[in-house]
Amino acid sequence: MKFLIVLAFVAAASAAPLSADQAALVSNAWNSVKHQEVEILAAVFAAHPDIQARFPAFVGKDLASIKGSAAFALHATRIVSFVSEVLALAGNPAAQPAVKTLVNQLGQNHKNRGISKEQFNEFRSSLTDFLASHATWGDNVAAAWNQALDNVYAIIFSNLDGHPVA
């Protein structure tokens, strides 16, 4: 039964890809902050130290001391690059298989590392808080971001549950 519920959730989320207008709203907000990679990751770690603890290179270290490191900047860039890549494909129905492939891979990689749904949700809240305070933000932008993240998280969570999206 759990499998059917997960499939229904994924099907519902996948059935509502972003419109071109929503994709533009999401991309515009992202483009105004994506150059702040280090600040984005620092905001996530500051709000949720349990996420920082999942990184062997950063566990137990003071955020201020690692924030200026090459390792921190590299990982922050990887996160921002992934989001940028997915957003570049958003709003294009023909690109949805590519989005699913990318997000399935992310979900599987993070499942293998033991990352929980709670930690993904913590990341989500930190990311949207950062966006809301550093980008042009309104109800329409928030709604577009929520739909985009709902779609992506449905795929990620299906992987965490052991049922990648086809």
- DSSP letters, 2-67, are HHHHHHHHHHHHHTSPPPHHHHHHHHHHHHTTTT-HHHHHHHHHHH-HHHHTT-TTTTTS-HHHHH
Question: pLDDT band at residue 73, thresholds of 50, 70 and 90?
Answer: very high
The residue extents of the domains of the chain are: 2-160
Contact 86, 152 (CB under 8 A): yes
Please give the pLDDT value at position 17.
Answer: 81
- Tell me what the mean pLDDT of segment 84-112 comes to: 90
Residue 31 C-beta-side C-alpha neighbours within 13 Å: 8
Sign of torsion over alpha carbons 45, 50, 56, 59: positive
pLDDT at 91 over 90: no
Q: How many C-beta atoms surround the C-beta of residue 122 within 10 A?
A: 16
Residue 34 CA, chain-centre distance (Å), reads: 13
Contact 18, 145 (CB under 8 A): no
Q: How many C-beta atoms surround the C-beta of residue 108 within 10 A?
A: 15
Please give the pLDDT value at position 1.
Answer: 34
The pLDDT tens digits of the residues spanning 2-34 come to 333 333 344 444 447 888 899 999 999 999 999
- How does DSSP classify residue 91? T
- Tell me what the mean pLDDT of segment 102-109 comes to: 92
Average pLDDT score over the chain:
89
What proportion of the chain, given as a percentage, has pLDDT over 90? 77
Please give the pLDDT value at position 72.
Answer: 97
3-state secondary structure of 135: coil
Q: How many C-beta atoms surround the C-beta of residue 30 within 10 A?
A: 21
Give 2-160's CATH code, choosing from 1.20.120.160, 1.10.490.10, 3.20.20.70, 3.60.40.10.
Answer: 1.10.490.10
